Amino acid sequence: MSSRSKEREVAARLARHAREEGGEPPPELLARLEGDIPETISGPLRRLEPAHAGAGPAASRRWLLAASLAVMVGAGVLAHRLFETVPPPGMKQPDQAAPPAAPSAAAWSGSEKGAVPAGAGPAAQPQPPRLERQQAAAAAATGSSGVDGRHFLEGPPGGSNPGVPAAAAPSSPREEVASQPVAAPAPVKQKAQVAAAEPKPGRERTRQQSAPAAPAGGVNVGGNEAGRQSLYAGPPVGQPAGAVPAAGGQPAAPPGAGERKDAVAVEQAAGFAEAPAPPAAPAPPPASAPKIALQETRRPQAKALGAAAARPPSAPPPGSFASRGGFVETAALRTSVFGPGAGTPSYDMTRHFVLDLGKLPSPGLVRVEDFVNALGGGVSDTPAGNGPGAPGTASVRALGYLSAGSAGEGGHAAFPSPRRTYLLRFELRPPAAPAAARNTGNAAASGSASPVPPTPMSLAPPAPRAEVEFNPAVVARYRVVSADLRLGPVTATAERPAEQLSAAADEFARSASVNPVAPAAAAAPYGGAMVALYEVELQPGVDPGQASQPRPSGRPGRPAAAAGSASLAAPVATLRYAGSGGQSPRGQDLRLSDLRQSWQAAPAELRLSYLAVELAEALGVQGARQEHADWQGLLRRARALAADLPDERRARELVRLVERAAALAKLRDGAGRQEP
């Protein structure tokens, strides 16, 4: 008999025994049992649940299950946070994708022209992140020449400069020219990293070699030769850098410039021997060699956040845009170039994350340029400022921004800065793309129909270029707002001594001076509007609200006669661009009279552009502390703007985006999430 059949037989016997031996209890048994029931019944002391009847696991196993669930939930939360913190492969964090990100700010701020020699080297640039590759693809599809401003700095197609060495590549994206001298010790939280990069064949299209530099003779569209020379004209070959005199006609540095720790020592970088050294600098730079001081700023850590929470509200929060510096002394560099808005992938991705997926994007995904391009460009409303905004023309509009302390009624403290700053917006609407280009998808849709005759499509579109020349008599300092300031101050280190930095700066200056690019103002590209936002600080005593009557003679190249006496007609800045069809370069002034004194008085498209920047900041671009984001204020301003622009789709979309993002941020902050 097999084992199985034997088991079955035994089981059958057991079952038969149960049937036969069960039987009915004796009749008197129940009475006996009832008699044994005590008079007072003490029932179960524990709480009994109806589902207790064998439905759940044992108590010990319940604890085991609970512990397992807790571990799983914890792991899930950790993975989620890691996913939000660490971008997916190919999408690097801003502080990790240093080389690709660094040139961006260089394109948007003219100050980076001086920083280029030590700030970016293609030899040290890794593969660009996926986002930028997407942007590049988008730019190629639209016929634009570049993804962001750094491409704009590249020279005309085919231009090369084999003699330019690859400059030192900063290891961090937040590197910018700093006011600290080369010998200044690095702060505790700052790690100076300037790596020497050797030139590599085939990758010679560096920003240095192709940067729009004026020759030593002073080729400059605006005739602003001094400013050009201050940037690019380094000491002549064979001549000591210290022997280069200060640019003639340059106004002296405004008082108090040394107190601005975020000021850019472009003059030092370019060999200004008489550049005023910041008083706070621990060690003055040697006068024998030009200096370029690069200093990396790291994202504030959580510990610093805790300290920041206790600061007074007027102080700019650490990591915020206001605290990141990036101001450029107009006396040192009066011209800033900006490129076309070629792509919006970051904004598209953020919109998908927030509106479709219901989650906040990783801060590394947010790019200010894309937000401005997507929301701020090509908005049409009632003409304001001094530009009609027609395609092919420049739309120059300005917002008078008063700082937090003097904002007054209706003021909007965009940047909590103790200084009085204004926000300027420049927009260059490109000429309408030819029909053939539109049909082939080689041009992006323009904001509005163009009365300008279509320009014949060219396989090699002219290099898009526009520049903003600030009047040093009116503007003391400026900085770009509509782009990530990935270039932070970088200082010299033991690995990258000051002499090496100076040598790189010299080499760049020489190479730039002998490789002049085309006039800075060139044709605007096909595609979307070119929008740039600047924050400017006026010279002491210059107040648009108290300026004298207009004087027709005010030009950017002329210094102010006296502080405070600038007329309303005095230009604050001039936007230079090239007209379509090979027309001569044009210029359009932004005057003091164009500055508005309140947020409500600002043109709608300027408000929308700035709100795009503010949204990007709130979403944590460049490590801005999201805890400091004023979601309610942003939402209030966005709704007000949408009310002013009832027909503007982007304004409505901005409101929806802010509403959802604010809710998600509140949910996140309520869960006690802290950014690592």
Partner 1 sequence: MGKMGVIEMAAGSSLLGGESRRLAKGSEAQEAELLAALAAGDRAAAERLLERTYRGVFALLRRLCGDSDLAADLTQETYRKAWTALPGFNGQSLVSTWLARIAYNSYLNHLRRPHRLVPLEGKHEALVRDPAPTVDETIAKASDADRLRRAVVALPEELRHTVTALFWGERSVRELALEEGITGPAVRKRLKRALQALGRALEEGPR
Binding residues for partner 1, per CB under 8 A?
3, 6-26, 29-30, 32-34, 36-50, 52-54, 56-61
Whole-angstrom distance, CA of residue 624 vs CA of residue 628: 8
DSSP 307-335: HHHTS-TTSPPTTSTTTS--BEETTT--E
Instruction: Give min distance, CB of 30 to partner 1, in A.
Output: 6
Q: Which is nearer to partner 1, 15 or 280 (CB)?
A: 15
Q: Which is nearer to partner 1, 15 or 445 (CB)?
A: 15
C-alpha to C-alpha distances, 41 to 29, 37, 46, 578, nearest whole angstrom: 20, 8, 15, 100
Burial grade of 552 (CB within 10 A; 0-12, 13-18, 19 or more): exposed
Q: Which is nearer to partner 1, 6 or 311 (CB)?
A: 6
* Contact indicator for 264, 487 with CB cutoff of 8 Å: no
Instruction: Give min distance, CB of 64 to partner 1, in A.
Output: 11
Q: Which is nearer to partner 1, 31 or 445 (CB)?
A: 31
Instruction: Give min distance, CB of 55 to partner 1, in A.
Output: 8
Instruction: Give min distance, CB of 4 to partner 1, in A.
Output: 9
Burial grade of 121 (CB within 10 A; 0-12, 13-18, 19 or more): buried
Kindly report the length of the chain: 676
* Contact indicator for 382, 607 with CB cutoff of 8 Å: no
Per DSSP (E only), the strands in 277-318 are 294-296
* Contact indicator for 585, 578 with CB cutoff of 8 Å: yes
Q: Which is nearer to partner 1, 17 or 352 (CB)?
A: 17
C-alpha to C-alpha distances, 487 to 153, 177, 293, nearest whole angstrom: 15, 7, 12
Instruction: Give min distance, CB of 32 to partner 1, in A.
Output: 6
SS3 55: coil
Q: Which is nearer to partner 1, 47 or 303 (CB)?
A: 47
Q: Which is nearer to partner 1, 53 or 459 (CB)?
A: 53
Q: Which is nearer to partner 1, 10 or 287 (CB)?
A: 10
Which helix (H) or strand (E) covers residue 335, if one does?
strand 335-338
- b/e sequence 290-315, b meaning 16+ C-beta within 10 Å: bbbbbbbbbbbeeeebeebeeeeeee
Please give the structure tokens belonging to residue 40: 């007072």
Please give the structure tokens belonging to residue 574: 């001039």
C-alpha to C-alpha distances, 293 to 183, 199, 269, 452, nearest whole angstrom: 8, 21, 7, 46
- C-alpha 60 chain-centroid distance: 54
Nearest Cα to Cα of residue 494 among 182, 198, 283: 182
Instruction: Give min distance, CB of 56 to partner 1, in A.
Output: 8
Instruction: Give min distance, CB of 68 to partner 1, in A.
Output: 16
Instruction: Give min distance, CB of 651 to partner 1, in A.
Output: 60
* Contact indicator for 520, 155 with CB cutoff of 8 Å: no
SS3 468: strand
Instruction: Give min distance, CB of 70 to partner 1, in A.
Output: 22
Instruction: Give min distance, CB of 73 to partner 1, in A.
Output: 25
Residues with Cβ within 8 Å of residue 29, at least 6 apart in sequence: none
Q: Which is nearer to partner 1, 27 or 646 (CB)?
A: 27
Q: Which is nearer to partner 1, 64 or 243 (CB)?
A: 64
Instruction: Give min distance, CB of 362 to partner 1, in A.
Output: 44
| Residue that is written with structure tokens 């020489």 in the block | 510
Q: Which is nearer to partner 1, 12 or 73 (CB)?
A: 12
Rg of the chain over CA atoms, in angstroms? 33
Q: Which is nearer to partner 1, 19 or 303 (CB)?
A: 19
Instruction: Give min distance, CB of 350 to partner 1, in A.
Output: 50
Please give the structure tokens belonging to residue 198: 């050797």
DSSP 474-488: TEEEEEE-SS-----
